[in-house]
Structure 1
Amino acid sequence: MSGCNLPTQVKVVFTALFCLLSLALSPRALSAPVAVIEGSSAGMPFVVERIAQTDGVPWGMTFTAGQELLITYRDGQIRLLNTETGMAQSVSGQPAINQYGQGGLMDVSRLDVTNSQAWYYFTYSKTIDGLAATTLARAQLSNNQLSQWQDLLVTQSLSDASRHFGSRIAFDNQGHVFFSIGDRAHRPNGQDLSTHAGSILRLNLDGSVPKDNPFRNTKNALPEIWSYGHRNPQGLLFDQETNRLWSNEHGPRGGDEINLVKAGANYGWPVTSHGKEYWGPIDVGEAEEKEGIVSPLKVYTPSIAPGSLLLYKGAAFPNWQGNLFNGALKLRHLNRVTVTANGSIKGEERLLEELDERIRALVTDHQGWLYFSADSGAIYRLRPHSG
C-alpha cells in the first residue's frame, strides 16, 4: 500500500481493513487468566479464573501431551488453547461438520498409544441425505493439523430429529472405547436393540466389535450395544481403579440420573422414569422402578441438565478424592457428588451458582486443577486459593 497514490482517508480505511483481516487469520489472542470467584468446598479454599473467552459452544475438552487444551465446538471448530496465555489457535483437518440442533461436533478424548503417539477420539453428528447420526471418529494431531481422520462407526441412529445425540467418550483399561447416544427424540428407541439410539456402545479401539459384548450373538440386536434404556446420556467415565463405568443422563421434566453402567443392563427409558411430561404433571413411563430394570443411583428433580461427568482423582483437592462432578446446564452450577467405597451416592454440593453459567465440559490437569467450559464460550479453571 505504501506505493499507492491514494487519498489519506482511503489509506486509513484500507489499513484498518488490512489489520482486521490479519487478526482474523492469526491465532486468537484471548485474555490472560482473571479471577472471578473465590469460595471453599469440603474445607478447601479455591479460586475460579476465566482463562479465555471464545465464540461458539465449547462442547468437549482434552489435554494434549504439551498441556494445551484441545477444545471442540458444536459448530465444527477445533482450537488449541494455551491455558497460561489465553492464546488459542485453530486446528484443521476435520471433515465439514455442521451444527444440527443439539448435534454437531461434540466430545473429544485423548488416548496415548505410545510415549510419542496419541489418538484423539471424537463424536459428532454426521449428516447423510438430510438426516444425522451420532458418529465415532479418531485422528492424530501434529502442528495444529489433524491427520488420518477415520470414522470408526457411523451409528444406526439416522434421524431428522435435532435432539438427543448424546454423546461422551470413555476408555477402559482393556483396549475398549465406550460412547453414548441419546434416543434421538424417539422414545421407543430406548428399548429397541435394533437401533443404536438410546444406548451406550462398546468397541475395540479400532472400531471393531469386541467378542464379549453382551448382545454380539443376540438375534435382531446390534452387537456394539453395551447397555440400553437411556434417554440422553451426556456424561460418561470409566474408573480404571474400580472398573466402574459411570454415566449421567437427562430425564424429561425432572428425573436426571446418575447410573453405574453394566454389560447388557436395561436402564428403563421410557418404561421407567422419574420425570414428568413437558406438557403437564403426568408421569413418564409405567413406574419409577420395575423388575429387570436397573434403577439410578441418584435422581435430580427438578432437572439440573447434566452436561458432563468427571471423577476427581487429583492431588490439588484431597478432600474431593473419589467425588463425581457434573456440569449443570439448566440450573447453572458445578454439581459435586460424594461416593462411598462400594459405589453408592452419599451427598451433594452445588458450587459456583453465582457464576450463572451453563457448565458443559470438565477436565483436570496433571496438578489436579479443574477446567470447565461454558456455553457462553468462556473457559474457566478452578484451582486452590494460595492466599
Structure 2
Amino acid sequence: MIVSVVRTISLVLLSISGALLFAGAAKAIEVITGSSNSMNYQVSLVAQDLSVPWGVTFISPNQLLITQRHGEAVIIDTAGNNRTQVKGLPNVAAAGQGGLLDVVTEPGYQLPNGWLYFTYSKMLGDQAVTVLARSKLDQDTLTQWQELLVTNSATTSYRHFGSRIAFDQQGHLFFSVGDRGERPNGQDLTTHAGCILRLNMDGTVPADNPFVSTPDVLPEIWSYGHRNPQGLAFDLRNNRLWAIEHGPRGGDEINLIVKGSNYGWPVTSHGKEYWGPLSVGEATEKEGIVSPHKVYIPSIAPGSLLHYTGDAFPGWQGDLFAGALKLEHINRLSLNKDGDIISEERLVSPLKERIRALIQSPEGWIYFTTDSGNLYLISPER
C-alpha cells in the first residue's frame, strides 16, 4: 500500500478541533489519502469529541447511532453537522473494559418500529455480567427496552466482556462473551463466558442449537473456547460466521465459527504468559479443537470485524476488515473462495489511532471510530 499524507495530521486535527463537535460544521474534512488493490481512497474526519465510541450502526441512510463506553449514545449525521443525545439508556457497569458496548439494527430495520440490539455490562450485586437487550427508537428516545439475556458470566473482574453482535438474516442473532478474565471459563459449558451465543431475534433459544438437548450445558451456546471475541461478521453469501478475538501476549485469532465447536482457550493458544516467555496452555493445536484461520504475533489487539460487500471498492468485495487497537491500523484480509486468508494489508496507519468500530455504509463506504473519540470515513478519492 502507498499512503500519502495530504497534510500534517496533527495540524489538521488541531485546526478543526471543535469545528465538528456540534451543528454548524460544513462537511467532513480529508486528512489522508491512500491506494489499495489499485483503488485510490481518502480518509475524512467526520466528527470528534466522542468518548470511546464502541459501537456504531445506521438508523437511516444518513444517520449513525454511536454507543460510548461510559454509558451514553449519540446520533450523528454522516456529514458530521448535527449531534443528538440519545435518551432512555439503562445504567451500565462502566469500569475497566465494561460499559455500553455494541449496537446493531435488525435486518431490514426502519424507524420507528425496528429493533436496535445492544450489548453492555451491568452489575449483579458486586459482580458484572454481559447483557443482550433490544429497544426501539422514538426520535431521540429509546423505548420498549427488553433484556433478552442476562448472561451467566458474573465475576468481580472488569475484563473480557466481549461483545459484538451479528445476524445471519435467517432469524438468528449471534453475540460474543469473553472469558471474563477467568481462563477456565473457556472450557466450562455451564457458563456463557468464553462463548459465542446464538438466539432467535426475540431472545428465545433456537431448537437447532448444538447443546439444546445436552444436560448441564447452557442451550444458548453456539461455540466455546474463546478468550475475548470483540469482532463478529456474518458472510451472507457463503453462510458463514467469522470472529476475531484477543490472545494473551501474542496470539490474536481469526476463527471461522462452526456449530458446536471448541476453539481451544485456554487449552490451546499461540500467545505467551504475561509474566514470562512461557506458552499458554498445553499446545498450539490439539485434536478436537478447531485451529484459527489466522494468528497475529505480535498482537494487533482487535476491536471489531467487518465483512465488506459494497460496490464502492470492488477490489475489497468479500474481504475482512479488523480494527486494530494496539497496532493502530485497519487490518484488511483477502479471502479465496474457500475462505482461506491469502493476503493481509494494513490501512490508515498514518492516523496513529486505536481503531474501535467499523461499519459499511449504504454507498459501500466504510466509517470507523477510534478510542480518541473520532469518527472517520473511507471513501473513493475524488
- Listed one character per residue, the Cα deviations across residues 270-298 of structure 1 (whole Å, up to 9, x for unaligned) are 00000001111100010000000000000
Counterpart secondary structure, 1:64:
strand
- The correspondence for 2:121, drawn from 120, 125, 145, is 125
Report what 1:270 is aligned to: 266
- Listed one character per residue, the Cα deviations across residues 224-247 of structure 1 (whole Å, up to 9, x for unaligned) are 000000000000011111110000
Cα distance, 1:128 vs structure 2: 1.5
Counterpart secondary structure, 2:74:
strand
Report what 1:291 is aligned to: 287
Report what 1:376 is aligned to: 372
- The correspondence for 1:94, drawn from 71, 77, 89, is 89
- The correspondence for 1:331, drawn from 323, 327, 331, is 327
Report what 2:15 is aligned to: none
Report what 2:5 is aligned to: none
- The correspondence for 2:43, drawn from 40, 48, 51, is 48
Counterpart secondary structure, 1:118:
coil
Report what 1:78 is aligned to: 73
Distance of 1:325 and 1:123 partners within structure 2: 21
Report what 2:174 is aligned to: 178
Distance 1:296 1:251, change over 3 A: same
Report what 1:16 is aligned to: none
Counterpart secondary structure, 2:60:
coil
Question: How many residue pairs get matched?
Answer: 362
Report what 1:18 is aligned to: none
Cα distance, 1:31 vs structure 2: 7.1
Q: How does 1:299-310 map to 2 (within 5 A)?
A: 299-310=295-306
Identity of aligned residues (%): 59
Distance of 1:31 and 1:271 partners within structure 2: 53
Cα distance, 1:30 vs structure 2: 5.9
Q: How does 1:298-377 map to 2 (within 5 A)?
A: 298-377=294-373
CA contact (8 A) 2:93 2:128 kept: no
Distance 1:312 1:187, change over 3 A: same
CA contact (8 A) 2:59 2:109 kept: no
CA contact (8 A) 1:31 1:86 kept: yes
Cα distance, 1:88 vs structure 2: 1.2
CA contact (8 A) 2:233 2:241 kept: yes
- Relative to structure 2, which stretch is displaced further, 266-275 or 128-137? 128-137
Report what 2:28 is aligned to: 33
Root-mean-square deviation over aligned CA pairs: 1.5
- Listed one character per residue, the Cα deviations across residues 14-56 of structure 1 (whole Å, up to 9, x for unaligned) are xxxxxxxxxxxx9666673111111110111111001000231
Report what 1:106 is aligned to: 101
Distance of 1:130 and 1:80 partners within structure 2: 32
Q: What TM-score, normalized by structure 1, do the two folds share?
A: 0.91
CA contact (8 A) 1:183 1:231 kept: yes
Q: Any unmatched runs of 5+ in structure 1?
A: 1-25
CA contact (8 A) 1:139 1:146 kept: yes
Report what 2:134 is aligned to: 138
Report what 1:279 is aligned to: 275
Report what 1:244 is aligned to: 240
Distance of 1:362 and 1:115 partners within structure 2: 21
Cα distance, 1:118 vs structure 2: 1.2
Counterpart secondary structure, 2:353:
coil
Report what 2:60 is aligned to: 65
CA contact (8 A) 1:30 1:88 kept: no
Q: Which amino acid aligns with 1:310?
A: L
CA contact (8 A) 1:112 1:119 kept: no
Distance of 2:124 and 2:25 partners within structure 1: 36
Q: How does 1:195-210 map to 2 (within 5 A)?
A: 195-210=191-206
Q: Any unmatched runs of 5+ in structure 2?
A: 1-20
- Listed one character per residue, the Cα deviations across residues 118-160 of structure 1 (whole Å, up to 9, x for unaligned) are 1100000011112110000000012111100100000000111
- Listed one character per residue, the Cα deviations across residues 284-331 of structure 1 (whole Å, up to 9, x for unaligned) are 010000000000000000000010000111111000011100000000
Cα distance, 1:167 vs structure 2: 0.3
Distance 1:30 1:214, change over 3 A: farther
Cα distance, 1:335 vs structure 2: 0.4
Distance of 1:97 and 1:292 partners within structure 2: 38
Distance of 1:119 and 1:269 partners within structure 2: 33
Kindly name which structure, 1 or 2, has the bigger radius of gyration based on alpha carbons.
Answer: 1
Q: What TM-score, normalized by structure 2, do the two folds share?
A: 0.92
Counterpart secondary structure, 1:294:
coil
Q: Which amino acid aligns with 1:237?
A: A
- Relative to structure 2, which stretch is displaced further, 108-117 or 158-167? 108-117
Distance of 1:340 and 1:251 partners within structure 2: 25
Q: Which amino acid aligns with 2:75?
A: L
Counterpart secondary structure, 1:217:
coil
Distance of 1:185 and 1:371 partners within structure 2: 30
Distance 1:31 1:126, change over 3 A: farther
Q: How does 1:252-263 map to 2 (within 5 A)?
A: 252-263=248-259
Distance of 1:208 and 1:322 partners within structure 2: 31
